């Protein structure tokens, strides 16, 4: 049964529905097709002990057991029934796979390379994160509110951090740019048939895990307190949000031939940025001069990008939701192969075996 029976999206607006419209709205909405079950109590207790941002617990979704914090359950059907527009552009990734980098590229390509506007508006506003509200537990939010109560402006920002992304996007005028880490199976089933463009970026799991480890330490909505080896165990055993990693990646890979889907590898983007700028521009139907593309490439070069305040979660840092650890910013090292600094020989051997087992039934291969 739909979760929001009294309100619906009418011409892009969230409105109160009368009884006649309510019936039609209920008929239009699809029931969420997957079972959502809580993680086993003892395991849940263990994970909560290592991740201080979530306070209630975790759930697993569907036959693939996609892993989410408790807040996902009340929003699952809204994500599945998110009302698409033909000119929507999605950047869909497993976390820490070049999402932010790709978002800024996409937004600039679609907005006449307006660097001034991009600098003034944080990427989080230009490119709303569809499911972020699920990760803001009410008790964690209460702590953020208390910490910021002396500053009315910051207090207001905290008040709004758990406002659902799908509601924000429903009120957005003009073309919409949407960030998500949800796999295709949990997004609207007509996503690729509605005219929307989806850019899916994949990155090898060892580099993803290292980058995700750092994010989980710095984002207090996650609040990971353990070391990397323990984190890798959670990651490999599909006990981290948005895992199973392999199911997520394979869903993206299997959509790569859809005309409205562009599948790219982070490793290739890192090795030949210009080629991928041109590829994304072509996919989006955008054309720029060689000089304009030179400027965009320079803007996106990592040594410049990591100093771009618009993309570095400065607002989240100002209200204490995001805290740097060892001065590592939200946009961190960006290099291929950084995992080698974190994996012991035993961990590397175990990880390589896990990768080999999961690639056995697919022609997916990560660039060297």
Q: What CATH number is attached to the domain comprising 116?
A: 3.40.50.300
Q: What is the pTM of this model?
A: 0.90
Question: Does 16 share its domain with 128?
Answer: no
Sequence-distant (6+) residues with CB within 8 A of 121 are: 310
User: pLDDT tens across 339-363, in order?
Assistant: 888 999 999 999 999 999 999 999 9
Question: Does 27 share its domain with 134?
Answer: no
In the numeric block, which tokens belong to residue 72?
A: 């996902």
Question: Does 21 share its domain with 87?
Answer: no
Question: Does 280 share its domain with 161?
Answer: yes
Q: Which residues pair with 328 in a beta bridge?
A: 325
User: pLDDT tens across 265-280, in order?
Assistant: 999 999 999 999 999 9
Which region among 1-10, 79-88, 103-112, 295-304 has the lowest average model confidence (pLDDT)? 1-10
Residue whose entry in the numeric block shows the structure tokens 């992304």: 165
Nearest in space to 339 (alpha carbons), one of 269, 235, 238: 235
Q: Does a structural domain hold residue 303? A: yes
Question: Does 147 share its domain with 11?
Answer: no
Q: How confident is the model at residue 305 (pLDDT cuts 50, 70, 90)?
A: confident
Q: Does a structural domain hold residue 197? A: yes
- What is the structure's pLDDT at 326? 54
Question: Does 233 share its domain with 339?
Answer: yes
Q: Does a structural domain hold residue 367? A: no
Q: C-alpha angle with apex 170: 167 to 172, nearest 5 degrees?
A: 115
- What is the structure's pLDDT at 17? 52
User: pLDDT tens across 171-211, in order?
Assistant: 999 999 999 999 999 999 999 998 999 999 999 999 999 99
Using DSSP's 3-state secondary structure scheme, residue 175 falls into coil
- What is the structure's pLDDT at 102? 97
- What is the structure's pLDDT at 340? 86
Residues acting as catalytic residues: 181
The total domain count for the chain is 2
Q: Does a structural domain hold residue 49? A: no
Question: Does 111 share its domain with 197?
Answer: yes
- What is the structure's pLDDT at 1? 31
Question: Does 337 share its domain with 198?
Answer: yes
Question: Does 1 share its domain with 134?
Answer: no
Using DSSP's 3-state secondary structure scheme, residue 7 falls into strand
Q: How confident is the model at residue 12 (pLDDT cuts 50, 70, 90)?
A: very low
Question: Does 174 share its domain with 316?
Answer: yes
Using DSSP's 3-state secondary structure scheme, residue 338 falls into helix
Question: Does 178 share its domain with 118?
Answer: yes
User: pLDDT tens across 33-60, in order?
Assistant: 999 999 999 999 999 999 999 999 999 9
Mean pLDDT, rounded, for 122-130? 95
- What is the structure's pLDDT at 295? 97
Mean pLDDT, rounded, for 125-154? 97
- Structural domain including 244 reads 77-359
Q: Does a structural domain hold residue 52? A: no
Q: Does a structural domain hold residue 37? A: no
Question: Does 134 share its domain with 218?
Answer: yes
Q: Dihedral angle at the C-alpha atoms of 250, 256, 261, 267, nearest 10 degrees?
A: 70
Is pLDDT above 70 for 284?
yes
Is pLDDT above 50 for 330?
no
Burial class (CB in 10 A: 0-12, 13-18, 19+), 235: buried
- CA pair distance 321, 219, nearest whole angstrom: 6
Is pLDDT above 50 for 13?
no
Q: How confident is the model at residue 314 (pLDDT cuts 50, 70, 90)?
A: confident
Sequence-distant (6+) residues with CB within 8 A of 281 are: 109, 287, 288, 293
Q: Does a structural domain hold residue 368? A: no
Q: How confident is the model at residue 325 (pLDDT cuts 50, 70, 90)?
A: low
Q: Does a structural domain hold residue 332? A: yes
- Residue 367 φ then ψ, to 5°: -60, 145
- What is the structure's pLDDT at 333? 54
């Amino acid at each position: 049964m739909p979760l929001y029976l009294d309100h619906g999206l009418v011409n892009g607006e969230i409105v109160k529905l009368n009884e006649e419209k309510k019936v039609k709205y209920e008929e239009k909405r699809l029931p969420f097709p997957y079972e959502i079950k809580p993680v086993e109590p003892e395991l849940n207790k263990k994970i909560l002990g290592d991740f201080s941002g979530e306070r209630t617990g975790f759930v697993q979704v569907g036959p693939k057991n996609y892993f989410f914090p408790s807040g996902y359950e009340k929003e699952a059907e809204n994500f599945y029934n998110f009302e698409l527009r033909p000119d929507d552009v999605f950047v869909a990734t497993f976390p820490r796979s070049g999402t932010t980098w790709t978002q800024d590229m996409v937004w600039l390509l679609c907005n006449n390379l307006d660097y001034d506007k991009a600098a003034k508006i944080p990427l989080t506003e230009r490119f709303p994160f569809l499911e972020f509200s699920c990760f803001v537990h009410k008790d964690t939010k209460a702590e953020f509110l208390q910490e910021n109560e002396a500053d009315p402006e910051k207090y207001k920002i905290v008040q709004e951090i758990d406002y659902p992304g799908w509601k924000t996007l429903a009120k957005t005028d003009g073309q919409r740019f949407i960030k998500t880490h949800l796999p295709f199976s949990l997004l609207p089933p007509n996503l690729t048939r509605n005219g929307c463009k989806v850019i899916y970026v994949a990155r090898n799991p060892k580099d993803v895990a290292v980058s995700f480890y750092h994010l989980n330490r710095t984002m207090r909505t996650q609040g990971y307190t353990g070391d990397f080896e323990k984190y890798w165990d959670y990651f490999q055993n599909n006990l981290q949000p948005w895992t199973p990693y392999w199911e997520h990646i394979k869903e993206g890979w299997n959509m790569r031939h859809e005309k409205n889907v562009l599948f790219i590898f982070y490793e290739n983007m890192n090795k030949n940025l210009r080629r991928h700028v041109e590829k994304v521009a072509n996919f989006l139907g955008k054309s720029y001069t060689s000089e304009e593309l030179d400027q965009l490439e320079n803007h996106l070069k990592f040594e410049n990008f990591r100093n771009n305040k618009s993309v570095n979660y400065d607002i989240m840092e100002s209200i204490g939701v995001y805290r740097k650890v060892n001065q590592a910013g939200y946009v961190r090292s960006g290099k291929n192969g950084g995992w080698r600094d974190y994996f012991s020989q035993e961990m590397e051997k175990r990880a390589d075996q896990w990768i080999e087992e999961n690639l056995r039934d697919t022609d997916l291969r990560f660039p060297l």
